[in-house]
Amino acid sequence: MTTMKTIGEVREAIAAKKASAREIAAEHYKRIAARNPEINAFLTLCEKRAYAQADRVDAMVAAGKPLPPLAGVPLAIKDTISTRGVRTTCSSKILDNYIPPYDATAVVRLEAAGAVILGKTNCDEFAMGSSTENSAYGPVKNPVALDRVPGGSSGGSAAAVAADLAVAALGTDTGGSIRQPGALCGLPAMMGSYGRVSRYGLIAFASSLDRIGPLAQSVADVAQVLQIIAGRDPNDSTSTTAPVEDYAAGLAKPVKGMKIGIPKEYFGAGMDAGVREKVEAGITLLRKMGCDVMDIHLPHTDYAIATYYIIATAEASSNLARYDGVRFGPRVEGDSLIATYRKTRGAGFGAEVKRRIVLGTYVLSAGYYDAYYLKGQKVRALIAQDFREAFQKVDVIVTPTSPVPAFKLGERVNDPLQMYLADIYTVTGSLAGLPGISVPCGRIGGKLPVGLQVFGPAFGEAKVLRLAHAFEQAGGAAL
């Protein structure tokens, strides 16, 4: 069977009866069996659930019924997103045997649209990392270059799509964890505005930052998946009532005359020369497309990494307190309740999770709350204000996604600061609650992908997708 890379190709084959949904699912499981031992993208497969959904789609075809938008499309789900009856571990030993009794809202909406859920993808433990090397079940390898990382924390989702093991996937983004793996694996990957997609069923890392979003082979497919999972959910009080635009219809709108801001703060020291060359070529292409490109300033950008790691770790410290051997996770008995907590968490959590819990507990502790956490929230407000002021002058903001291409496995595992700096261009939009997409922008040496990042104003997903789609159609990936 010919490899089907897009939603349109799958739906066309099924509608024309060139292939059944069951056959397409089986072909993807065959590819998973062949490649997953090498790249380690999937942790858990759910064949019974997938084939049951595929059979429902095939029954609709046989009955001549109209097909839903994702009919028979094989999808992968990051292992931090709850799936009823399917093991969900957050890539942590402390949730090794956890089977959720319910589905996340995003999963419910995907299956209602006809999607076939193949399984759960590997990630950094509790989504804490930038390389998917922090998984308790082993690192993920980048299908583009097997000696390199796929990015993180949604590295398994990115690798699954890049290796054609799934047509699209859901990841989660707290500080860049969808966009950065998309960039490193050569895929369009999007984070909607905070509140655009329900977080119900997403196992929390940092509740004021976490978001669910899609990765796919094309911007059009990203737009279609986002359209389906977006919108108000009564189960999530942080989900917005703001209307969801028709993202697919908006892709065809012209971008000529669109005002694009280029912040100088994103082009300083520390950027790989190859990344700089490709991103600058991407900006030149945007000019050729008729966009009005102008320089802007986001003056508080330099404080973003420190601010993010104060706020995110503080929220992680609070959220992960529930894993104590009493309420969730395996229990390791100690001589006292405190000893039980200590032994359970010591055995269940990995080094990076422990590091962030300790850091977060410190910044929340008496005597340090005002100096760190409260000040971090004030700087977060300033970063958001920078963006609001910029969007009074421009329609979207364009930056690099990652300062470096995919780095080698093991290269940064013993240097947490260097690992954290991999998110230097993505955390700003996360702190400000804005939508952002990474779209492929050439390859260094014809091999290692580079990502161009597009930020839009709050709930301006349509603008972001329109520019990303136009850039893709203009040949941005081939720069």
Going from the C-alpha of 360 to that of each of 311, 341, 366, the distances in angstroms are: 8, 18, 12
Comparing C-alpha atoms, which of 150, 145, 156, 6 is closest to residue 69?
A: 6
Q: How many CB atoms lie within 10 A of CB 333?
A: 9
Phi, psi of 193 (to 5 degrees): -60, 150
| pLDDT score, position 1 | 72
Per-position DSSP letters for 151-219, written without gaps between them: -SSSHHHHHHHHTTS-SEEEEEESSSTTHHHHHHHT--EEEPPTTTB--TTBPPS-TTT-EEEEEESSH
Residue 361 exposed, middle or buried by CB count within 10 Å (0-12, 13-18, 19+): middle
* Whether the Cβ atoms of residue 314 and residue 373 lie closer than 8 Å to each other: yes
| pLDDT score, position 268 | 87
| pLDDT score, position 366 | 87
pTM to 2 decimals? 0.97
Q: Is residue 198 among the annotated active site residues? A: no
| pLDDT score, position 327 | 78
Which of 153, 154, 239, 438 is catalytic? The answer is 153
Phi, psi of 229 (to 5 degrees): -90, -10
| pLDDT score, position 473 | 98
| pLDDT score, position 452 | 98
Instruction: Please identify every stretch of the chain with a pLDDT value under 70, giving residue numbers as ranges.
Output: none
Q: Is residue 78 among the annotated active site residues? A: yes
132: left (phi over 0), alpha (psi -120 to 50) or beta: left
Which of 154, 157, 177, 218 is catalytic? The answer is 177
| pLDDT score, position 328 | 75
Going from the C-alpha of 253 to that of each of 42, 188, 218, 389, 429, the distances in angstroms are: 37, 19, 17, 25, 24
| pLDDT score, position 421 | 85
Domains and CATH numbers, the chain: 7-250 (3.90.1300.10)
| The two structure tokens encoding residue 75 | 């999808």
Q: Is residue 157 among the annotated active site residues? A: no
| pLDDT score, position 73 | 98
Which of 20, 78, 120, 402 is catalytic? The answer is 78
Interior/surface letters 141-170, b for 16+ CB within 10 angstroms, e for the rest: bbbbbeebbbbbbbbbbbbbbbbbbbbbbb
